[in-house]
Structure 1
């Protein structure tokens, strides 16, 4: 049975206000092309689009050759089109490299698989469709007909994409996968203030609201998406940052709050670490985060 994905009750209404209303597929691709002309625009939110219209849009996108990523919420009749701008791509790729480098340093490169921006569709059209920016998981997850085929990690970046929208995506990935997806890392760029905001979302068990309740539903804990950690990186050097020559940018001018970023080994690798083999949680240090910020900007 497909997992029930309910996003709308838990998000701010402002997060789902569409940029455009769907009329037809040809017009939508013209609107996407118009959005590409702004180098700071990495998203287009499309409202009033049905499942059939979304599938027709997908088919046309394949015919034209993919140049965007899509995220569809049928219960809201809403489509988020991600436009891969330079800063958007740097943000998620640098974050992914930070994580993958630690995995490689533990000698586990052969046990990790990169799924990129692959499309993931839960069973049935009611749950929607998602394409992450970067994703990956243990190579033991191989069977595409098994729920466990979902990767354990997905990274979503945003420039013009709002943080509330990125949070919608985080909740969807965890819920739509029936919590086979374990970690979602959001990387939000705030160009005006030269700030990078990172949120790590995971599934945690929620306890019954009424202690001692006897019903089956109340007596069992359930998974729910939660923010496990936040990291903020802010440029404090000469402004504006984007006009500051590279040779005048130093790591110390990127102030980091909330480091280190720690991802649980068992969440990513589907098994406990073996300390005797040098295995441990994935720890992204303050210096490594500063280097990431330097490369993103």
Structure 2
């Protein structure tokens, strides 16, 4: 068996999803120069940084325009910071789905009543039982209307392939709690390189006993690709992605308005395009820059 075929044979072996290894690198903050060099050398789309004081975090956040450091989530209690490394794959994974949402909003004639909040920094609502800190989404947005005008987005998109799905789900739960439940929908897009899968989860809160709001995954879409060339993509579970108009705009829909429905056929094409970008990036480099094995000669 050739080296390439051996790699593919190993990749096709069934692996429990929750046991997929994390390629996340962790460093200790020393100075800005070393941090920037670590980001440039990061093997994936995220980097965990420890020893980040509130003063250092404030400087990194305020210096975004200069240093272009994409912050993901900061916990002041443990002084830990997650940084997003904007690789080509990450940007396509995190931005394309939001673009589809916005297209639907424009077609309903609501483009001017929707605010794109991008990956602006949102500081946690302070509570005695909650850690202080801040978050940035890969993409986010919300309605312009409201008294007072909504500051938090109603929907956020978080994408990745270096972080584990468990860590991404923890961040989804935190978006609801830390915004004091002003965030209504969290969309997770998780690429699983070892299994050539794209997992998309829609998280919302539900009432428990009529009082407590409990976040949970309300819809899961899994699209799996084969290792043959060209690869074929199959929807393993779920159907069209449905985003509630009421949760997006904080009101009932009017005439010509309704839930945003992103067809599963589009999701399948999206998965194929993301993997094509993944393959192009890694085949050009000839090494595991984004989680893929070195292409060996037979």
TM-score normalised per structure 1: 0.76
What's the counterpart of residue 86 of structure 2?
84
Contact 1:94–1:295 at 8 Å: present in 2 too?
Answer: no
SS in structure 2 of the partner of residue 58 of structure 1: helix
1:62 to 61, 64, 82: 64
- Superposed CA deviations along residues 20-69 of structure 1, whole A, max 9, x for unmatched, are 2233333322222221xx3xx0000112322223223334x436331423
Unaligned runs of 5+ residues in structure 1 are 1-13, 208-219
Deviation at 1:198, TM superposition (A): 0.8
Runs of 4+ with >6 A deviation? none
The answer (yes or no) to whether the contact 1:72–1:80 under 8 Å persists in 2 is yes
Q: Distance in 2 between matches of 1:224 and 1:50?
A: 31
C-alpha offsets along residues 155-196 of structure 1, whole Å, 9 cap, x if unaligned? 000021221221122112111110111101000011232211
Q: 1:266 aligns with which of 243, 246, 261?
A: 246
Matched, 1:283 2:285: no
Q: Within 2, Cα distance between the matches of 1:24 and 1:196?
A: 36
Matched residue, 1:6: none
Alignment counterpart, residue 201 of structure 1, candidates 200, 203, 209: 203
Deviates more, 1:45-54 or 1:225-234: 45-54
Q: Provide the secondary structure at the position in 1 that maps to 2:77.
A: helix
Aligned partners of 2:69 and 2:83 also within 8 Å: no
Q: 1:162 to 1:141 in 2, by over 3 A?
A: farther
- Return closer, same or farther for 1:131/1:142 CA change in 2, 3 Å cut-off: farther
**C-alpha deviations, 1:76-132, integer Å up to 9, x for none?**
321100001111110111111222222222222222221111111135695211111
Q: Distance in 2 between matches of 1:120 and 1:142?
A: 19
Distance 1:103 1:47 in 2: 40
Deviations 1:191-224 (A, max 9, x none): 23221101111122222xxxxxxxxxxxx61223
Q: CA deviation at 1:267?
A: 0.3
Distance 1:262 1:62 in 2: 34
Specify the alignment match of 2:39 in structure 1. Answer: 32
Q: Taking structure 1 as reference, are residues 205 and 75 closer, same or farther at Cα in structure 2, changes over 3 Å only?
A: farther
Question: 1-side partners of 2:78 and 2:222: how far apart?
Answer: 31
Aligned pair 1:232/2:222, yes or no?
Answer: yes
Please say if residues 94 and 158 of structure 2, whose CA atoms lie closer than 8 Å, have aligned partners that are also in contact.
yes
In 2, the alpha carbon distance for the partners of 1:76 and 1:229 equals 32
Determine the C-alpha separation between the residues in 2 that align with 1:78 and 1:206: 32
**Deviation for aligned residue 1:142:** 8.4
- Which deviates further from its counterpart, 105-114 or 188-197? 105-114
Other-structure match for 1:133: 138
Q: Matched residues in 1 for 2:268 and 2:147: separation?
A: 35
Secondary structure class of the residue paired with 2:183: coil
Equivalent residues of 2:75, 2:133 under 8 A apart = yes
Written as runs of structure 1 = structure 2, the 5 A alignment for 1:1-297 is 19-35=26-42, 38=43, 41-59=44-62, 61-62=63-64, 64-123=66-125, 126-140=131-145, 148-207=150-209, 221-236=211-226, 238-239=227-228, 244=229, 248=230, 253-274=233-254, 277-297=255-275
Cα gap change, 1:103 to 1:58, in 2 (>3 Å)? closer
TM-score by length of 2: 0.76
Q: Distance in 2 between matches of 1:228 and 1:27?
A: 41
Instruction: Give distance in 1, aligned partners of 2:146 and 2:200.
Output: 27
